[in-house]
A and B are shown apart, each in its own frame.
Chain A
Amino acid sequence: MGSAVTAPGKRDSAFPNFRTRTWNYAARRTLAILPVVLAALTVAFAVIHLVPGDPVQMMLSIGGSVPSPGQEQALRHQLGLDQPLAQQYLSYLWHAVRGDFGRSIVTGEPVSQVIGAAIPASAALAGAGFGIAVVLGFAAALLTTRLRPGPARTVFDALPVFAMSMPGYWVAILLIQVFSFDLGLFPATGGNGAAGLVLPAITVALPPAGVIAQVLANALEAARLEPYVFTAQAKGASPWRVLVRHALRNAVVPTVTLLGTTVGNLLAASVVAETVFARQGLGRLTVTAITDHDFPVLQGIVVLLGVVYVLVNLVVDLLHLWVDPRVTMARRGER
């Protein structure tokens, strides 16, 4: 992230005025994440109050025993539900800002610890998935653009659509059947290091790969009509060189915008993938927290997702600045 901020400065150091504006924009953009984080915190706070019925009763019933009135009161107190709403909210914010969301109702561990334990596995899955999605998406788009209209082109045009139309659970099941059971290439269950990561990562990568391929192919198609592409062609550059060196550089801009949705889609897909592949992670944690009515853990997850969301979008905006410095000027003109 740091490099993304400094890079434009370096590139445009010849234009000091431009550089200050860029810095201003970056700073403003960074500050703008605060209201969104506050909103996420508030939504998470609201969760426990929106539940129809008594959340305390629901949470206690999960342990499989009949709660005594004393237990009920203790939990109500522990969750602060016996205080006035405003006071609850402030005390919640005060604790949440310091990463304290209380304890899981089911395991009794601090929420930060429960979620913290799930983050590395999820990050590995999302990271691997992201890499695969980008590689597949770019490869498909470049190949499609190079193909002349015909049957092969039709097939390649349809591939991203198929990738986006497959329910994640079916992709996971098919991968397991073929690569784990029939070929025995990769394990069907998680926690086996890199080998165990392959199939779940492909599962989560397919839909975003489809999106990237489509958007990039369209942008490449448009870029080919630009004058500089003609110039390059006229100079006798090979078609691949024109495509990669000239068209791709410009077409990549709209793809950067997709980064935000891609990360979101990866996280969503990991809910299903982690369940089918029996992997530890945030997705599976979410599902169990829902079935167990483990509201403190859910609150923590909501806030974490909110924070991930704003960070990713911040990175997207700053990346934009880097790949396309006109952004600041355009945005300024808008206001």
Chain B
Amino acid sequence: MNRLRQGKAGLALVVSALLAAGCSAAGGAGAVPADAPPKPGGTLTFATDADPGCLDPQQSATAASQLISRGVVDSLVAQDPRTLEIKPWLAQSWEVSPDATTFTFHLRDGVTFSDGTPFDAAAVKANLDRIVDPATKSLLAASLLTGYAGTTVPDVRTVIVRFSAPNAPFLQAASTAFLGMESPASFAPGPQALCQKVIGSGPFVLGAVVPQQSIELDRRAGYAWAPPTAGHQGAVYLDKVAIKIVPENGVRLGSLRSGEFDAVANVPPRDAGSLTGDFQVLSKQQPGLAYSLLLNTGRGVLTDPVVRQAIAKSINTEQIVSTLYEDRYPRAKSILTPTTPGYADVLDAGQFDPGAAERALDQAGWVIGADGTRSKNGTRLSVEWTYSSPAREQRDVLAQLVQQQLKAVGIEVRLNPLPAGETISRQLSGNVELSDMSFVRADGDVLRSAFYAPQGGKPAFTDPQLARELTDATSTTDPARRASDYAQAQRLAVDAAIVIPIYDPTYLLGVSGAARGIAFDPQGLPEFYDAWVAR
């Protein structure tokens, strides 16, 4: 009875995800009707765009890695992709202390990791302790445990996690793969060994991994602890998900059409319209930070608020989303995306007003020189934009477009493409003028990742009031107070022009008629638990 109900809820979820994505229902694709029941067995071929690198979610911070590891590790709690409510998963229930410093989880019985190790309270403690251990070199997970003061294990099914300062966002963080549970027996060989050998309690087991080429996810027989948010219960339908890393957008799309893949990641928006007939594009607006420009208030001409605001007013985001993304990625109306808890629409009308920007710069004494670039007292109105290359979602082309838009008002942009890791590390150490970022996380707490450097580095963007709002939001479990704190923080950052939101990242998943039941997780990444192949 219970099982049946959950199955229905899951089906409704998948359907609603499709509807929310604004897709037409899958028309009679091939021989198998659209409403056919899931068929067990078979292999789903999937082409992803980015090499995930390290697959251990406790170490890695990338979405590419999370896409793979999500199926391998389970989390203490689950987040409903639709309502964003927190639901039970490996923990059947929990209590949070009013000051958001103590979290007590009551664990589910009968769960085992795929290496046979039982999942219990000691395993949870081992995982959390490992994440904060500096030797693990966690790039993100450790920052989700800010203020971690230790875990106690009163009995085999109960865990108490304590923080030295309030950490209300921890509950949502615990639902992400970053804080997913791995078999403590696998920790011995050291963090680097785990990068290609993650062992969790999830519905999939990590199969063959060929770096930069392919990754296989194999069905875990006997899996029986899916969260209530899933489309069904029990083991996965598929025998295997064969994932290939295909960085070339054009090749990925062409290979979907030629039948080499059942589903492909990140369809270029410009080509999404061409996937018709048997093919369709499922889209999901991702929660978290909108793709935004970050202006380092401590560097060069960007210390001047007039300059920052002029830049913000000179960027035509409307033109960016229509030219580059055919409006399939919406124009951002705040630093947070609309699907993020705590989102406040602070830029409904947009701020594009080049006339006002030019007037303000004229008034401030920035005079246009012979080469078309303004200067004042010998200082050129010139900023360096450091960004990752190769870039996804055509962000390198976007940079060229913004360069042209700012050139029109006499602001020079010097483009400085660097490898991704170098860009991030320069951002974290504040060694950039203009930079850009987006970040997927279904909680307003993601703002902290942008405005606080997680571990030890100098925060690149500091504003005392902003810091106060964000700290206050982490210390309360009252949703209304958190929402108002986050709204205030978004307004502050946009008004001071330390952040210029550009577009809301949207996952465009290309699928053939054979790929069925691929859903999106709360992070807006495709999930294969309910997937099956119709052939």
Contact = CB atoms under 8 A, between A and B. Distances in A.
Touch A–B, Cβ below 8 Å: yes
Interface of A: 60-68, 106-109, 114, 117, 121, 176-177, 180-181, 184, 187-191, 276-280, 284-285, 288, 291-292
Interface stretch (B242-250, B337-345, B483-491): B242-250
B213 A66 contact: no
B464 interface: no
Contact of A280 (B211, B424, B425): B211
Contacts of A109: 192
A40 B257 CA distance: 46
B93 to A, nearest CB: 36
Contacts of B109: none
A181 B254 contact: yes
Interface in B53-90: 53-54, 61
25 contacts: A61-B421, A62-B419, A62-B422, A62-B425, A63-B421, A64-B139, A64-B424, A64-B425, A65-B137, A66-B455, A67-B425, A107-B192, A107-B195, A117-B210, A181-B257, A181-B258, A187-B255, A191-B214, A191-B244, A278-B213, A278-B244, A278-B245, A278-B246, A278-B247, A280-B212
B457 to A, nearest CB: 4
B425 A184 contact: no
Given A66-B455, A181-B257, A278-B245, 10 more contacts: A62-B422, A64-B61, A64-B424, A66-B456, A68-B456, A107-B195, A176-B251, A180-B255, A291-B419, A292-B419
B420 interface: yes
Interface in B451-489: 453, 455-458
B273 interface: no
Given A61-B422, A64-B421, A176 B254 contact: yes
A288 B421 contact: no
Contact of A191 (B210, B255, B422, B453): B210
Interface of B: 47, 53-54, 61, 137, 139, 191-192, 195, 210-214, 244-248, 251, 254-255, 257-260, 419-422, 424-426, 428-429, 453, 455-458
B158 to A, nearest CB: 34
A181 B254 CA distance: 6
B61 A108 contact: no
The 5 nearest A-B residue pairs measured at CB:
A108-B192, A66-B457, A64-B424, A62-B421, A280-B213
B246 A63 contact: no
Contacts of A278: 212-213, 244-248, 251
A279 B246 CA distance: 9
B421 A108 contact: no
B428 A66 contact: yes
A117 B211 CA distance: 9
Contact of B213 (A65, A114, A191): A191
Contacts of A60: 425
Contacts of A181: 254-255, 257-258
Contacts of B421: 61-64, 292
Residue among B213, B244, B260, B453 with max Cβ neighbours from chain A (10 Å)? B213
A172 to B, nearest CB: 10
Nearest to B258: A184
A285 B257 CA distance: 29
A260 B164 CA distance: 66
A188 B255 CA distance: 7
A291 B423 CA distance: 12
Contacts of B244: 189, 191, 278
B436 to A, nearest CB: 15
A291 B251 CA distance: 22
A72 to B, nearest CB: 13
Contacts of B457: 65-66
A335 to B, nearest CB: 49
B377 to A, nearest CB: 32
Contacts of A67: 425
A114 B196 CA distance: 13
Given A61-B421, A64-B139, A189-B246, A276 B251 contact: yes
A107 B424 CA distance: 18
A192 to B, nearest CB: 8
Given A107-B195, A278-B246, A65 B425 contact: yes
B260 A189 contact: yes
A180 B251 CA distance: 9
B248 A276 contact: yes
B529 to A, nearest CB: 25
Nearest to A63: B421
Nearest to A71: B137
A72 B453 CA distance: 19
Nearest to A196: B260
Contacts of A288: 212
A109 B211 CA distance: 12
Contacts of A108: 191-192, 195
Contacts of A292: 419, 421
A187 B257 CA distance: 12
A61 B455 CA distance: 14
Residue among B245, B246, B248, B457 with max Cβ neighbours from chain A (10 Å)? B248
B255 A65 contact: no
Contact of A66 (B211, B254, B257, B429): B429
Contact of B251 (A62, A184, A189, A284): A189
Given A63-B137, A63-B425, A280-B212, A107 B54 contact: yes
Contacts of B191: 108
A189 B258 CA distance: 12
B178 to A, nearest CB: 15
Contacts of A188: 251, 254-255, 258, 260
Given A63-B137, A66-B453, A180 B258 contact: yes
A279 B210 CA distance: 10
A106 B457 CA distance: 20
Contact of B254 (A64, A65, A180): A180
B213 A61 contact: no
A126 B291 CA distance: 42
Contacts of A63: 137, 139, 421, 425
B210 A65 contact: no
A293 B424 CA distance: 15
A121 B61 CA distance: 29
Contacts of A280: 210-213
A16 to B, nearest CB: 53
A61 B426 contact: yes
A292 B212 CA distance: 14
A177 B260 CA distance: 14
Contacts of A114: 211
A280 B244 CA distance: 11
A293 B501 CA distance: 32
Contacts of B420: 64
Contacts of A189: 47, 244, 246, 251, 255, 260
Contacts of A291: 419
A123 B241 CA distance: 28
A199 to B, nearest CB: 11
Contacts of B245: 278
Contact of B425 (A66, A180, A276, A279): A66
Contacts of B455: 65-66
A116 B244 CA distance: 21
A135 to B, nearest CB: 27
B212 A284 contact: yes
B432 to A, nearest CB: 12
Contacts of B458: 66
B425 A61 contact: yes
A114 B53 CA distance: 13
A232 to B, nearest CB: 51
